[in-house]
A and B are shown apart, each in its own frame.
Chain A
Amino acid sequence: MTDFPSPDPAADGFPGPRRRAFLAAAAGVTAATGLVLAGCGTGSGSSGSGGGSPRRGGRLRAAFAGGGASETLDPHLGNLFADAARAKALYDKLADCGTDMAARPRLAAKWEPNDTLDRWRITLRKATFHDGRPVTAEDVLYSYRRIADPKKAYRAKASLEPIDLAASRAVSPDTVEFRLKRPTAEFPNVLAAFGAYIIPKDTTTADLAKPVGSGPFRFVSFAPGRSCVVKRNDAYWDGAPHLDELEFVVANEESARVNALLGGQVEYAHELNPTTARAHEGKGQIEIVRLRNSAMQSFAMKTDRAPFDDPRVREAFFLIADRKELVDGALSGAGEIGNDLFGKGYEYYAGDLPQRHQDLDRARHLLKQAGAEDLRITLDTSPVAAGFTEAAGIFRDQAAKAGVTVRVRSGSKDSYWSDILDGGTLCCYRSGAMPIESHISQRLLSDSTTNATKWHHKDFDALYQQAQSTKDKKERAAVYGRMQRRLYTEGGFLVWGFADWIVGTSRRVHGVAHDAPANTLDWARFDKVWLA
């Protein structure tokens, strides 16, 4: 895996520069008229598995790859898995993603939209910050306005874009009314956005060095790039954690995380290699937890330029890929094959479409039809993510069998994502877990900010708007189905697999969720974990 901190592959929104004092957002709150509210919220918040009845007490040490001396505790700035895990221990969001990526209520007890889906009333549950103050509607608005500060570049800013924050208001201490710029049926996804944590009103950036949140753990100490210690919050609204204390330690080298786990220096090691997992799985020394469907693996074709402006060439490439070989080779078998669609196993996933298989004859035929025989093409890759360079090499060989000459070009890992956004024609691409709706809005609309396949189709944009304006879930699912069929037929993402995210734990550790993709609520969630 990556030796050094890599940007979180899974997050939506954008990372911001981690500096400068925070300028308080103007607190102008305009009045809103009465609303007809309808019920919508569902879900519960339990996690964990097996191991008998939980035992209270103990200190758990969890090793993550981290960001070195530049790490921050500002929950709105976090980019890395380590940042997200720390923020989750200290803070809460209004909602968070379940294992199928559907939003589940957290600090929000329920959410109710109006009929046109552009006003949402959020009722907060009774929760308190670590200093005893209750979590109120004002805190929510303050947090969101901080994230959306136009002068800043906080990561969740783009996710909160649908909200008209100037017009949103606190109806009562426990009720927020969000006014949206347009109908947004999937508004709960916004509340669950990566980094959309609730901090107390009037918290300054300096205050965030000593975090006061509403999360399951209270802050004890922090040394950037080394360690962060938190302790149980007995007053946590979702039940006090079992652990007395939790320490996040940073070890960027995968072998160091494994060794620390094997040597009993940590009880939880995040992000292990598939080969490590195979070596220790079932050997009884440590537990290996495979979080399925955590990272989409794909090749992104730029659909606005030759040769991929011809849908027949794109289809030919879909048919060139031997997905099993890619998963076995590039992911060491730690994953499942993909079907050219994002979000296998997630809510709204079009699982009814037939699985695509390699068909070199048909691929050759399609290329010939498109006048693209003896095609030569450059495939951009980089050591930025595990399996990228391997996948590129395997695909080069597969393409050769269809008469396509692929030249693999390896780029800098520090600027890879920026380089491939507009440059090149074909590149390795991956994404962490997020709702299918977020994947579409961030990557597949004409005005999407990271549209790496250059998928610009007005009718597709219109379908997205239609889905967001459709209140009935079944009807909405049907629209998502249509959009995915289109992508399956002629989209720009050749999704060949979904990688497991691999976590190792000591045998004393119980209550670690086995079915939560990275970045979902139950991933790296330590309030339900206990030590035997």
Chain B
Amino acid sequence: MMEAESRSFADAEINRCLTPEEKIQFLRQMFRIRRFEQTSLKAYNAGKMGGFLHLYTGQESVAVATISLLGENDHVITAYRDHGHALVCGMEMGECMAEFFGKATGSSKGKGGSMHLFAPDKRYWGGHGIVAGQTPLGLGIAYALKYKGIRGCCLCYLGDGAVNQGVFHESLNLASLMSLPVIYIIENNGYSMGTSLARSSAFKQMLAQRAEGYNIPWDHANGENIYEMRVKTQAAIERAHEESRPTVLEIATYRYYGHSVADANARKYRTPEEIEHYKTYHDPLRLWQKRLVDEGILTEEQADAIDHEARAEAEVASRFADESPFPTEADIFTDVYSEVDQPVGDGPHGTYFFN
């Protein structure tokens, strides 16, 4: 039955049109995220960066599958577990790693940190640190698209913990009321920080089902199945493009590490066996690699080569970050006010900074 369902997703039009190169590219992107994050964790452990580091490891397939469908007027915004989305949207490992290291060559010149990666030129709007704080921003991006008469949409990612924030519900209400092309993708990894889904959310069948209350279509997908995620996401994108209507899509996934690397109880609120089970039987990289080998479009040796390229790329990024300079003290006061950075007319007037 599952086999059959799985085959039907693979056979869907949106997946049948994929070229072998595109499928291999998905694997490459997942390897890049994983090796990038492992390298960043190594650097974190070596004291190269401050603060938190929220690893996406285990969830890579979600960003890869959903973002693979986006066109030139489609946008992405997410929360603080943002490394995967950033790389899939086209950000370079070097600028991201340098940002983690707090270097002037970082994507935000060392002013944002790992939770705050941005690349508006790639229609990637961050990287936001407050749980669910990005949900109305994604709505606003959709609002702007509709206002300007652009046929596009915004994929707004959130975790299973964010669904309990009031502003997410306000956003759902507005999305439906104003009929905006926003797609909320709940990456349900089972834990909001250290609290399991069962202990944090009241729901009937799925978290996404809450959308019913706002008259918003919803669906769910298995995060280890790239074909399925592409089918479900494509339906939401079409709804956004054709009808300017929102969708809530819930994707079941799993993170191997703690909420952040500073999560002292990462292996206490769930058993090591549970983590091992996911790594062994549900790892999206392994599963996709096996599928491509089964489909006969990739050999194990080619997969290893892709892995090694990803490791090498991450190493280069780490070295780049390491060798880059820190911002200067004067940089503290730039990028605060646009009028200070780029004066208009005879401005700026008055005092902007008070020390």
A and B found bound together: no
B residues sitting closer than 8 Å to A (CB atoms) are none
A residues sitting closer than 8 Å to B (CB atoms) are none
